[in-house]
Chain A
Amino acid sequence: MLTSDNTSRRVMALYMGTGLALTALMMFAGLMLRASQAGWMPMSPGQFYAVLTLHGAVVIVALMLCGMGGLWFLMRRQTSLSAATTLITYACIAAGAVAVIAATLFGGFAGLYTFLAPLPFHGSWPYWSTGAFLVGMTLITIGWMAWCMQMLGAVLRAYGGALGALAWDFVWHRKAFDASGKPLPPPEAFPALMAGFDGMLAGMSAMLLGVALVVRWLDARVLINPLWAKNLTYFFAHTYANLIIYMLAALIYVGLPYATGRKYHTSTALVVGWWCSMLLTLTNYFHHLYMDFVQPGPFQYLGELSSYLSAVPVTVVTIFSALMLVWRSGMKWTLGAIFMYTGLIGWVVGGIGAEIDATVPFNVHLHNTLWVPAHFHTYLVGGCVLFAVGWVFLCLESRSMRRTGALLRWLIGLLTFGGMAVFLMGFYCAGAYGVPRRYAIEPPPGPELAKIASIGATVMIIGFALAFAEGVRLRFGYPDQEGDMRIEQGG
Chain B
Amino acid sequence: MSVAVKLLVMFLVFASAAIAIFLAVAYSTHLPVSEQHDVQQHGYAIRGRWFLALVLFLIASFAASIPFYPYMSATAALAPARKVPVIAEQYAFIMPSRLPVDKPIIFEVTSRDVNHDFGIYNPQGHLIAQVQAMPDYTNYLRVIFHAPGQYTARCLEYCGVGHAIMAKTFTVGGK
Contact = CB atoms under 8 A, between A and B. Distances in A.
A226 B137 contact: yes
17 contacts: A45-B161, A116-B114, A122-B114, A124-B160, A308-B61, A312-B51, A312-B58, A320-B43, A324-B40, A327-B39, A361-B68, A362-B65, A364-B70, A432-B8, A434-B4, A436-B154, A436-B155
A428 B9 CA distance: 10
A269 B44 CA distance: 10
Interface string A248-288: 00000000000000110000010000000000000000000
Given A45-B162, A345-B18, A293 B58 contact: no
B96 to A, nearest CB: 21
Contacts of A432: 2, 4-5, 7-8
Contact of B161 (A110, A297, A328): A110
Contacts of B21: 323
A329 B33 contact: yes
Given A118-B114, A434-B4, A353 B69 contact: no
Interface residues of B, number: 77
B169 interface: no
Contacts of B144: none
Contacts of A438: 158, 163-164
Given A320-B47, A359-B65, A112 B114 contact: no
Contact of B163 (A360, A439, A444): A439
Contacts of B126: 365, 434
Nearest to A326: B25
B125 A434 contact: yes
Interface string B22-45: 100110110111101001100100
Contacts of A181: none
A407 interface: no
B19 interface: yes
Interface of B: 2-5, 7-8, 10-11, 14-15, 18-19, 21-22, 25-26, 28-29, 31-34, 36, 39-40, 43, 47, 50-51, 54-55, 58-59, 61-62, 65-66, 68-72, 90, 113-115, 117, 119, 121, 125-132, 134-141, 154-165
B38 to A, nearest CB: 9
Given A45-B162, A365-B7, 19 more contacts: A45-B161, A49-B163, A112-B158, A119-B114, A122-B160, A124-B161, A300-B69, A305-B62, A323-B22, A325-B36, A326-B28, A359-B61, A368-B157, A369-B156, A431-B4, A432-B5, A433-B4, A438-B164, A443-B125
Interface of A: 45-46, 49, 110, 112, 114, 116, 118-119, 122-124, 225-227, 230, 262-263, 269, 291-294, 297, 300-301, 304-305, 308-309, 311-312, 315-316, 320, 323-331, 333, 341, 344-345, 348-349, 352-353, 356, 359-362, 364-369, 371, 428-429, 431-434, 436-444
